Amino acid sequence: MSTSTDYKFEGWAGSGPESIEGNLKFIEYEPKQFAEDDVDLKILYCGICASDISTLSEGWGPLGDMWPQVVGHEIVGEVVRVGSSPKNGIKMGDIVGVGAQCDSCLQCHYCNKDMENYCSKGMVGTYNGKFSRTSEGSKSYGGYANYWRGPSHFAIPIPAGLDPAEAAPLLCGGGTVFSPLVQYGAGKEAKNVGIIGLGGLGHFGVTLATALGADVTVISHSARKQKDAEELGAKHFLITGDDEAKAFKGHERSLDLIICTSNAPDMNMAAYLSLLKPAGNFILVGVPETGKLPEISPATLIFSNIHVGGSLIASPQTLKDMLELVAEKKVKSWIQKWSMNKVNEAVPSMVAGNARYRYVLVNEDNGGKL
């Protein structure tokens, strides 16, 4: 076991909601106590996720004593310290990734079924969480930083040949859409898949559903992103405009599965659900900051035998499966790189909606390549 501790844990931290305006501060912090199944990573890349913004802005609720907050849960780094009982065959020098979850009880029914993201005792977020299995009560810190420490069970080896910078946003954004695509049979039982919204999540929805063999329809407010959708692999493009019911005439019962990446609280659900075939599934992955689901009539569900559900992030095994598929099919992430030293420019640009389609912070000091 390596015992090297000649490095500091430092990162870009928010101390209040105004941090998303370019006010992150570079601080030193104390990570969890090192456990024998832990690894330390020298961070090379970290994606900027919409969840980072919702957390820092307190859009999902006040953080209270969880400030200061180092966010970032799309981490790729080099293993620089390994405990005596590492998981996933991890060894010194490996390039691995960490997504939105960094721990769970690892003992309950769901953890034993490769569903750690639904752990009965609650998942520990890669940031804004507190460890309970080891280092009880220690705070979790994310990837806008130089180093990361956490359980090796949640560190996923990056396949050879896969660009580590492109792999970074797959670890949350990609996994979040891949999980329901696989669960509901995209490319198998669900031959025709709709993706609502062509943003950070939506663009992964298109590429991954296509890689799984599905015929993909992008559903978007305007024609502005139609060319991008087609380049990403979509075969069809539906423009909602301001009247979804009118826009969807003639397309009723055309889709087996819809993945909704939008978090708009005022969607015309009856119109969107009309696109589903009987036994079809409408799965939400975008979380509205309002916390409310658009109104749905029970009759809409009953008379068409359609189902509305939700899906969280991916489990470690699902992330492994996704990365293998991406490497095999040579799926490309559409990323824009930012030096981590310019995080206070990158975050406001993300807030402004400028990403096409994922921003990735590059830790040049650690050897990341712009």
Query: What is the chain's length?
Result: 370
What HEC string does 143-190 produce? CCECEEEEEHHHEEECCCCCCHHHHHHHHHHHHHHHHHHHHCCECCCE
Do 10-172+314-366 and 174-310 agree at the fold level? Answer: no
Q: Residue 47: which region, alpha, beta or left (left: phi > 0; alpha: psi -120 to 50)?
A: beta
The CATH number of the domain covering residues in 174-310 = 3.40.50.720
Q: In the predicted model, is pLDDT for residue 354 greater than 60?
A: yes
pLDDT tens across 80-135, in order?
999 999 999 999 999 999 999 999 999 999 999 999 999 999 999 999 999 999 88
Average pLDDT, stretch 194-203? 97
pLDDT of 288: 72
Query: DSSP secondary-structure letter at 19?
Result: G
Burial 119-137 (b: 16+ CB within 10 A, else e): beeebbbbbbbbbebbbee
Average pLDDT, stretch 21-35? 97
pLDDT tens across 317-335, in order?
999 999 999 999 999 999 9
Query: DSSP secondary-structure letter at 305?
Result: T
Q: In the predicted model, is pLDDT for residue 291 greater than 80?
A: no
pLDDT of 103: 98
Rounded to 5°, angle at Cα 27 from 61 and 44: 90
Helix/strand number for the chain, H first, E second? 10, 17
- In the chain the first and final C-alpha atoms are separated, in Å, by 32
Instruction: Provide the whole-model pTM.
Output: 0.96
pLDDT tens across 74-93, in order?
999 999 999 999 999 999 99
Q: In the predicted model, is pLDDT for residue 271 greater than 60?
A: yes
CB atoms within 10 A of CB 342: 13
Q: In the predicted model, is pLDDT for residue 1 greater than 70?
A: no
Q: Which helix (H) or strand (E) holds 336?
A: strand 335-339
pLDDT of 287: 78
Fold category of 10-172+314-366 in CATH: Quinone Oxidoreductase; Chain A, domain 1 (3.90.180)
Distance CA 148, CA 158 (A): 16
Query: DSSP secondary-structure letter at 280?
Result: E
Q: Hey, where are the domains in the chain?
A: 10-172+314-366, 174-310
Distance CA 149, CA 33 (A): 9
